[in-house]
Amino acid sequence: MPIDPTLPYDDNNIFARILRGEIPSTPVYEDEWAFAFEDINPQSPVHTLVIPKGKYVSWDDFSAKASAEEIAGFIRAVGHVAREKGLVEPGYRLLAKIGAHGGQEVPHLHVHILGGQFIGPMVMAR
């Protein structure tokens, strides 16, 4: 069910629990600012999630409250994972779902890195 990004951060969301090691994941990358792991329900040959280690619900929350170092570190982590996965050429898609209309299901900011095949149109027809 899509979430309301204006709600306070939920310390029991699945990504917070993955960060604490309470739920297993397949790690891809980790540094001071971000953690990346394989999606358990991949939608393309490469489907990796990158999450900030801070408690942020959405891009709005992150851009308003995160330090410049957190923002730079998170964005660098996304780029690092894409390069390590060999996606720079021929390309890949970044997807961040924000709020109910965006289809966000987990109230922790996350970016999907999708690649390994042609992804298709940007938005599916209704």
DSSP-based three-state secondary structure for 89: coil
Examine residue 1 and state whether it is found in any structural domain, yes or no: no
Residue 77 sits in a domain whose CATH number is 3.30.428.10
Examine residue 63 and state whether it is found in any structural domain, yes or no: yes
Q: Which two tokens stand for residue 60?
A: 């709005």
Q: Are strands 92-95 and 111-115 parallel, antiparallel or unpaired?
A: antiparallel
pLDDT at position 4? 74
Confidence (pTM): 0.93
pLDDT at position 62? 96
Examine residue 41 and state whether it is found in any structural domain, yes or no: yes
Per-residue pLDDT of the chain (126 residues; tens, 9 = 90+): 777 767 789 999 999 999 999 999 999 999 999 999 999 999 999 999 999 999 999 999 999 999 999 999 999 999 999 999 999 999 999 999 998 889 999 999 999 999 999 998 887 656
pLDDT at position 120? 86
pLDDT at position 2? 75
Q: How many domains does the chain have?
A: 1
Domain that holds residue 70: 14-115
Pairwise CA distance, residues 24 & 124, whole Å: 32
Closest CA to 119 of 96, 83, 94: 94
pLDDT at position 17? 98
Question: Do 35 and 110 contact (CB within 8 A), yes or no?
Answer: no
Catalytic residues: 110
Examine residue 120 and state whether it is found in any structural domain, yes or no: no
Examine residue 122 and state whether it is found in any structural domain, yes or no: no
Give, as one character, the DSSP assignment of residue 12: T
H/E stretch holding 92 reads strand 92-95
